[in-house]
Structures are given as C-alpha cells and as structure tokens.
Amino acid sequence: MYREGTWVSAEVILQSLDYFGIVVFAMAGALRGEEKSLDLFGVLVFSIVTATGGGTLRDLLMGNLPVNWVKDNAYIWLALAGGTFTFMFTRFWRFPVGALAVADAIGLAVFTVLGADQAAHMGFSPLIVIVTAVMTGCVGGVIRDLLANEIPLIFHREIYATAAIVGAVVYLVLQAWGLDERVFPWLAMLVVLMLRLAALRWDLRLPRFMRTLPRA
Amino acid sequence: MYREGTWVSAEVILQSLDYFGIVVFAMAGALRGEEKSLDLFGVLVFSIVTATGGGTLRDLLMGNLPVNWVKDNAYIWLALAGGTFTFMFTRFWRFPVGALAVADAIGLAVFTVLGADQAAHMGFSPLIVIVTAVMTGCVGGVIRDLLANEIPLIFHREIYATAAIVGAVVYLVLQAWGLDERVFPWLAMLVVLMLRLAALRWDLRLPRFMRTLPRA
Amino acid sequence: MYREGTWVSAEVILQSLDYFGIVVFAMAGALRGEEKSLDLFGVLVFSIVTATGGGTLRDLLMGNLPVNWVKDNAYIWLALAGGTFTFMFTRFWRFPVGALAVADAIGLAVFTVLGADQAAHMGFSPLIVIVTAVMTGCVGGVIRDLLANEIPLIFHREIYATAAIVGAVVYLVLQAWGLDERVFPWLAMLVVLMLRLAALRWDLRLPRFMRTLPRA
C-alpha cells in the first residue's frame, strides 16, 4: 500500500496511523518507566525504545540502513512528546489505563501490518513476512521489558503476539486472493485489533508449557 | 570450506551440521522456556532466538544484510520444528538432558567453526575471526538468558565459551600451517567438541574473579 | 574534526582520547564483572561490551558496516588489556574508585563528542546528532547492566546521560555559530566532563517520576 499515486488519501491515513502508534507506544513505555520510579531521562528513553524498537530491529535485519527514525525525525519527536506528556500528566491525574490499552491495540495492529507490508514489498517469503510483522509490532515492548529487568510481558499475555501472527497470515491470504491492495491491509489491521480487544475483554490465553512428569 | 566445486560432499555435510545445530539449539531454548513456564508462543520465540541469535548478530556486525535466516527460511522452520517438538515431548516424557548436552556441544562446535570460516573468508584479522567464532557459537544462548531475565550462563559455565575460543585459534593455526581447507575446519570442530564434552564430564572451570582484600 | 590535513595533532590527540575512553570503559566493565563474581572470560566480555557497545550500536543504526572494531582491531585489544589489567590488579590491591570515576567521565565526554561529530559529518539533523551522541556515550554501560541483570544505572544516576545531552547541544550550538572545527569539539567535551564531575561531586539529580495520586 506504499505505491505512489494509487490512493493518496490511504497513504496519508496510514502515515497518520503510524505516527499515532508511535505516540501510543511511547505513552505505554513512559507508564512502565513510572512503575520503575525512573527520572525524566529514563522515562523518555523507555518511550523512545518502546515506540521505535520494533521498526528499528526490522530495519536492521532487513538491511534498510540507516533505520527509519534516522531518516524521518518525526518518529523521535512524537515519542518524546508522548513520553513527556505522560510524565507531566501522571503527576496530577490518574491515567486512563483502559483507554491506553485500546490505543495500544491500535498501535499493535498498525505496526504489525506496516511490518508485513514492508517485508512483502521487498519480496520476502510468507514466513519472513510473518516474522517481520510480529517483530515490528512486539519488539519495542520486549526491549522495554528487558530494560526494566523483567521477563517480557508478551511471553505471558500471549494473545498479544498471537494477534500479530494471525493478522500477518490474514494479510498474506488476502493478498494471495488478489484483493485490492488499497483494501486488504485495512482488513488485516482490523483482525489484529479485534483479536487483541477480545483477548483483553475475555482474558483469552494460549496453553502453557507443562510437564506431566515431576522434575528429575 | 565454502568454495564451490572443491568437495561437494563436504558442503552437504556442513550444511547438514549447520541445520542440526539449529534444531539442537532450538530444543535447548525451548527447555529454558519450559523452566520459565512460558506459553507456546514464548517457547517458540526462545527456540528461534537461541538457534539464530549468534548468526544474526554476526551478520549484523559484518554487514551481511539481510541476515541469513531472511535469505534461507530453513533456519526459522527448523527452529520452529525443534521448539514445537520439545514443547509436545516434555508434556509426556522426561527429556534426555544428557543427550541434549552432547547435541548442544555439537551445535557449539559447528557454529563456532562456521563463524570462524565466514570471517576468515571475508579477509578479517585473526582477532576478528576469533570474536566472530565465539559470537556465532554463544550469543544465541546469551540473548535467550537475557529474555529469561538471568545472568547469561556462559559467564558461569565458562568452558563453554573457552572451548569456542580454543577452536577458533586451532582453526587459524591450522589454516596458517597451510592444511587442506577440506580438512582443518573439521579438526577445529573436533577440538571444540572434545573440550566441551571434557568440561561437561569433569566439570572443568576457569579461575573466578576474586578480591583478596575486603570491600571498602 | 576528522577532516584530513586540517590539524594533524588534533586528530592524533582525538584518536588517543578515543583509545583512552575504550580502556577506561573496559576497566569499569571489568569492575562490574567482579561485583558479579564472574570468571575471566565473563570479565573480558563485560570489558569489551562496555567499551565498544555504544560505538557498535551507533554504527549499526547508521549503517556504517562492518562496525568500527571490525575495521580497527585496536578497540578490542585495548578493551582486553583494560579488562585483564583490572582482573589481575583487583586480586592484590584495592581499586581507586575515585580515579576510575574521573577517567570514566573523560571517556563519556570523548565518546559523546565523537558520536556527535560522526553524525554531524554524515549530514544528519540536530536531533539525530544528539541521539547518536548519547548512544555512543552511554549504551555500552546499558548493555553491561543488562548482562548483569540490573536496571541500567543511567536511569538512576541521571546526570550521566544528561551531561551527554547537554554536550551534544553545546556541540551543535558552537557549530552553528561557525566556530573553528578544530576548537569547538574540545569545548563540548569540556562541558560534558565538567557537568559529570560536578554531578559526582555534589550528587546532582533530575526530578523523579512521581504520582501525586495513590495507585488505583
């Protein structure tokens, strides 16, 4: 959906969603920093890392260097804005966690499909499209959790990453069916969003790893 | 030993060993995920990271982009297969930990020499050949331990990395002596394997870092 | 200040300072390894990672591949020398922590300005110059802390990173004012050094993240 001249308004909407995802992920990162009692600098680093980590790893592995936020400074500015706002806001008001979870789900949906889209346009195989989509959507949060010295949340709240996987598969299937490229990315995004919101609403989970035998 | 037309069967054996190392490291990663009570997604991420982490960092630092598993999807598929098998298997049977340790030693030997081989063929200095060899052999496990929120094991079970260093040095010495390139990589692999198995068998260790003075 | 033929002695001094920063950061990394009771291999890895981590990430994100220490082996040799020296020294004598803190401040100042300088000469925007400067100065220590399974120190001892930010801004301002490129990088370095030493001397801090409301 990046093709020039196909549907300008779609590109504008998409870019807006991308920036929206950056801001939302930055806010989620800042809130994690708050839980860890970090100072302003630490909070802003958490914001930047959470917002840009997925896209950065994607660009590194694909060889798209310099990485995206070096070329388009808006990514860093928006992450700083989201982090600073959250830093100020939480000093005086309680943060609407429910609203943030919904916004975070939108960010996940957008980043996942943007990642799938980029890998697909570079001609990579379906497997790599899926891996790239999941990385773009989830790795920012993983690095944030590592910096916070915790086992990354996505290994526990598993429908997070699973929603990204399903969304990438839907993207590939709709593309294979020959749907209009101005339409199917939005459907894939909607699938990720719906899955993630359903998981939040009804607390859905994947099976855990269990032994039926006692340890040796 | 990557030269075309020199010794086809050696290349086939080498590629097979490489894939074997991927599967074994994936299983080791999955077992770590099990210890952390991760769900299926988390276990598979641990498998992929452990199996491909070393080669990925090597390719990043050397500038071989996109990284190897983006070009050859077999790496990811095999890691997924090893992780899924381990996930299913450990639900019903006790995992043969001894067999895994031997297989892991084979993986270490193969990855170490593959790393040394690639750096040597790119014309890098002996020091970089050694660093690349150790990274390719060990970094997957390091990232796995970081995700599991633990100090990486290789900082404690130190003959692991030391075996890789010795193997890389042997590779360089045999190469300098002008040995046939169809032979000496196998000897270097054997050295790593023997060292690692000996370390496992007799619990060999390097000296620890100690103060002889009390803390200030 | 990398321009050929402008002021040879400045380049020599700068390269010397760069190497000095590597050694000092390697020693700081080794001391952290000592606190964690690592063996010699672990201590040397901590030395290498702390000394080269910032420059490595900078080169990765900018696409300067292979990374600097692959091209100039002196980086790794010096890190190994600093780590080995510290390993031996601390077995018999108490380490002069005060002297190390001053040396570490010099390393921070040098790496920060070298990072800013490289990004500026590649034609990146002021924002990216600042981000690159901070990364080059601080990321080595962040990776070291991650390997040691701790929340990175810079999120707590915050004037560390803040000194780097201020130094990068000073670099940009002096450059914009048209100062001689043989002079202003040294001024920026001096600012970082003075700020860091002042922070150490008077224990300066940034405001922490606080809620004025109780948690939900």
pLDDT in tens, A162-181: 889 999 999 999 988 887 77
b/e sequence B142-156, b meaning 16+ C-beta within 10 Å = bbbbbbbeebbbbbb
Least CB–CB distance from B76: residue in A127, A142, A205 = A127
Which of A191, A13, A45 lies closest to A112 in space, CA to CA? A191
Q: Provide the angle, in degrees to the nearest 10, between the axes of the packed helices C126-147 and A126-147.
A: 80
Check: CB of residue A27 under 8 Å from CB of residue A82.
yes
Low-confidence ranges of chain C (pLDDT < 70): 1-10, 156-158, 203-216
CB-based contact C39 B128, cutoff 8 Å: no
Residue of A41, A57, A60 for testing the chain C interface, max C β-carbons within 10 Å: A41
Instruction: Tell me how many residue pairs between chain A and chain B have CB atoms under 8 A apart.
Output: 85
* In a domain? residue B158: yes
| C-alpha Rg value of chain C to the nearest Å | 18
- What is the chain B residue with the closest CA to C144? B151
Taking only the tens place, the pLDDT of each residue in A10-37 is: 677 778 888 988 999 999 888 888 888 7
**Quick one: tokens of C201?**
């001397």
Q: CA-to-CA distance for B12 and B15, rounded, in angstroms? A: 5
Name the neighbours of B, counting chains with at least 3 Cβ pairs within 8 A.
A, C
All residues of chain B having their beta carbon less than 8 Å from the beta carbon of residue A66 are none
**Quick one: tokens of B212?**
């002889």
Q: Helix H segments across A38-96?
A: 40-62, 68-71, 74-92
Least CB–CB distance from A158: residue in B41, B87, B93 = B41
At residue A156 the predicted structure's pLDDT band, cuts being 50, 70 and 90, is low
Least CB–CB distance from C60: residue in A34, A60, A92 = A60
All residues of chain A having their beta carbon less than 8 Å from the beta carbon of residue B77 are 127
All residues of chain C having their beta carbon less than 8 Å from the beta carbon of residue A38 are 155-156, 208-209
A35 C-beta neighbours (distance < 10 Å), count: 12
Q: Does A70 touch chain C (CB under 8 A)?
A: yes
| Residue B211 distance to chain C (closest CA, Å) | 5
At residue A194 the predicted structure's pLDDT band, cuts being 50, 70 and 90, is very high
* In a domain? residue A12: no
All residues of chain B having their beta carbon less than 8 Å from the beta carbon of residue C150 are none
Q: CA-to-CA distance for A136 and A82, rounded, in angstroms? A: 19
Taking only the tens place, the pLDDT of each residue in C40-82 is: 888 898 999 999 998 899 889 888 888 888 888 899 999 999 9
CB-based contact A147 C149, cutoff 8 Å: no
* In a domain? residue B157: yes
Query: Cα B65 to the chain's mean position, in Å?
Result: 20
Q: How far is CA C213 from CA A40, A91, A95, C50, in A?
A: 18, 7, 10, 39
In chain B, the number of structural domains is 1
Residues A177-200, mean pLDDT to the nearest whole number: 86
**Which C positions 24-43 lie with beta carbon below 8 A of chain B?**
33-34, 36-43
Q: What is residue A25's three-state secondary structure? A: helix
Domain span at residue B28 reads 8-202
Q: Does B98 touch chain A (CB under 8 A)?
A: no
At residue A207 the predicted structure's pLDDT band, cuts being 50, 70 and 90, is low
Q: Does B163 touch chain C (CB under 8 A)?
A: no
Residues A50-61, mean pLDDT to the nearest whole number: 90
Which of A73, B59, A1 lies closest to C128 in space, CA to CA? A73
Q: CA-to-CA distance for B65 and B46, rounded, in angstroms? A: 23
* In a domain? residue A118: yes
CB-based contact A207 B147, cutoff 8 Å: no
Contact residues for C199 (Cβ-Cβ < 8 A; gap 6+): C157, C159, C160, C163
**pLDDT of the residue at A211:** 46
Q: How far is CA B142 from CA B50, B147, B151, in A?
A: 8, 9, 8
Name the neighbours of C, counting chains with at least 3 Cβ pairs within 8 A.
A, B
Side-chain half-sphere CA neighbours of C81 within 13 A: 12
All residues of chain A having their beta carbon less than 8 Å from the beta carbon of residue C124 are 70
* In a domain? residue B209: no
* In a domain? residue B207: no
Q: How far is CA A55 from CA A48, A50, A201, B26, C95, in A?
A: 11, 10, 28, 25, 42
All residues of chain A having their beta carbon less than 8 Å from the beta carbon of residue B147 are 142, 146, 151-152, 155
CB-based contact B151 C146, cutoff 8 Å: no
**Quick one: tokens of C15?**
């390269």
* Eight-state DSSP code of residue A150: S
All residues of chain C having their beta carbon less than 8 Å from the beta carbon of residue B203 are none
Which of A85, A94, A89, A99 lies closest to A47 in space, CA to CA? A85
* In a domain? residue A210: no
Over chain B (216 residues), what is each successive 10-residue block's mean pLDDT? Answer: 54 82 90 81 89 90 87 92 90 76 85 90 90 90 82 71 91 87 86 90 62 45
**pLDDT of the residue at B214:** 46
Give residue for tokens 């590194």: A60
ipTM attached to this prediction:
0.79
* In a domain? residue C211: no
CB-based contact B41 A154, cutoff 8 Å: yes
- What is the chain C residue with the closest CA to B162? C41
